[in-house]
Chain A
Amino acid sequence: GESVGLHLPTLSVQEGDNSIINCAYSNSASDYFIWYKQESGKGPQFIIDIRSNMDKRQGQRVTVLLNKTVKHLSLQIAATQPGDSAVYFCAESNSGGYQKVTFGTGTKLQVIP
């Protein structure tokens, strides 16, 4: 919803540039990680996921990087478009799936036309 975006760290990016959204996770036992996109007034939408036995996974215009050594996850969006403006959440799980999922607090991506 609208209030979700308040008080969040904001990343402002020019249209056409690449965006990098970062996430630090806390549980070293986490073995599955997911990125979600949430547009204003809507529920989260799955973007891409990665398991702990990988360090990189690519989708359409998106790439997720996982660094288990420093417990860091990043989402790269290539050629950012106005439709990419949203709040982005990372999520972690230590059950290999959705059984128990912990979400990060989110980053607001603002695309400047």
Chain B
Amino acid sequence: EAQVTQNPRYLITVTGKKLTVTCSQNMNHEYMSWYRQDPGLGLRQIYYSMNVEVTDKGDVPEGYKVSRKEKRNFPLILESPSPNQTSLYFCASSPTSGSTDTQYFGPGTRLTVL
């Protein structure tokens, strides 16, 4: 089944403890992206990747890192999480970044930083 998977789905952690949220797609998509979703603010783009080893900042990259060493995986790294990073995170992918392609979203990761 074609899908975008994220792990973990739920995570409660403490300030300063490094964590990684994984994202994987099995559709051979070139483009992948991370968003955070907060009440009243909608989805905001954190980082995106046009292809392997090509990443760029979105609107809210501060406090996050990403890597794209292989096409299928696009992990989101929080080196030193803070409470303001408590949010619902979504990974998305599409065949390319072009508008002729549909973007597919993962199921979300709910992160709480205490």
Contact = CB atoms under 8 A, between A and B. Distances in A.
- The yes or no verdict on A and B being binding partners is yes
A99 B80 CA distance: 27
Contact of A32 (B45, B59, B99, B108): B99
Dominant secondary structure of chain B at its interface with chain A:
strand
Interface of A: 1, 3-4, 6-8, 32, 34, 41-46, 49, 51, 89, 91, 93, 95-106
Contacts of A100: 45, 48, 58-59
Residue among A32, A46, A49, A101 facing the most chain B CB atoms (10 A cut-off):
A101
A46 B40 CA distance: 20
B82 to A, nearest CB: 19
Contacts of B40: 7-8, 105
A97 B99 contact: yes
Query: Which of B43, B45, B90, B98: most chain A Cβ within 10 A?
Result: B43
A46 B102 contact: yes
Contacts of A89: 42-43
Contacts of B52: none
Given A97-B96, A98-B94, 10 more contacts: A1-B37, A43-B90, A43-B92, A49-B99, A98-B33, A98-B92, A100-B58, A101-B45, A103-B43, A105-B41
Given A42-B108, A44-B105, A99 B97 contact: yes
B42 A106 contact: yes
Contact of A45 (B42, B48, B96, B105): B105
